[in-house]
Structure 1
Amino acid sequence: MTVERDRPEVVAEVAAAFEAYEQALVDNDVEGMLGFFADRAVRFGIADQQNDIEEQRRWRLAQGPLPPGRRLKETQIQTYGVSTAVVTTLFGYPGSDVVGRQTQAWARLDEGWRIITAHVSETS
Structure 2
Amino acid sequence: MEINIPEVLAEVTAAFMRYEKALTSNDVAVLDALFCNSPHTIRYGVGENLYGYDQIRAFRAGRSPAGLEREIFNTAITTYGRDFATANTEFRRTSSTKTGRQSQTWMRTADGWKVISAHVSLLG
TM-score by length of 1: 0.90
Contact 1:78 1:85 (C-alpha < 8 Å) held by counterparts: yes
In structure 1, the residue matched to 2:65 is 65
In structure 1, the residue matched to 2:10 is 12
Contact 2:25 2:68 (C-alpha < 8 Å) held by counterparts: no
Which runs of no fewer than 5 residues in structure 1 stay unpaired?
Answer: none
1:110 Cα offset (Å): 0.8
Aligned length: 121
1:69 Cα offset (Å): 3.6
Contact 2:76 2:88 (C-alpha < 8 Å) held by counterparts: yes
1:94 Cα offset (Å): 2.7
Q: How far apart are the structure 1 equivalents of 2:23 and 2:6?
A: 25
In structure 1, the residue matched to 2:32 is 34
% identical equivalent positions: 38
TM superposition outliers: structure 1 runs of 4+ over 4 Å: none
Contact 2:26 2:68 (C-alpha < 8 Å) held by counterparts: no
Which runs of no fewer than 5 residues in structure 2 stay unpaired?
Answer: none
Q: Flag the 1:46–1:68 CA change in 2: closer, same or farther, 3 A.
A: closer
In structure 1, the residue matched to 2:108 is 108
Report Cα offsets for 1:31-80 as digits up to 9, x if no partner. 11010000121100001011111111111111101515410000000100
SS for the counterpart of 2:67 is: coil
**Residues 44-123 of structure 1 mapped to structure 2, 5 A cutoff:** 44-67=44-67, 69-94=69-94, 96-123=96-123
Contact 2:23 2:68 (C-alpha < 8 Å) held by counterparts: no
Contact 1:85 1:105 (C-alpha < 8 Å) held by counterparts: yes
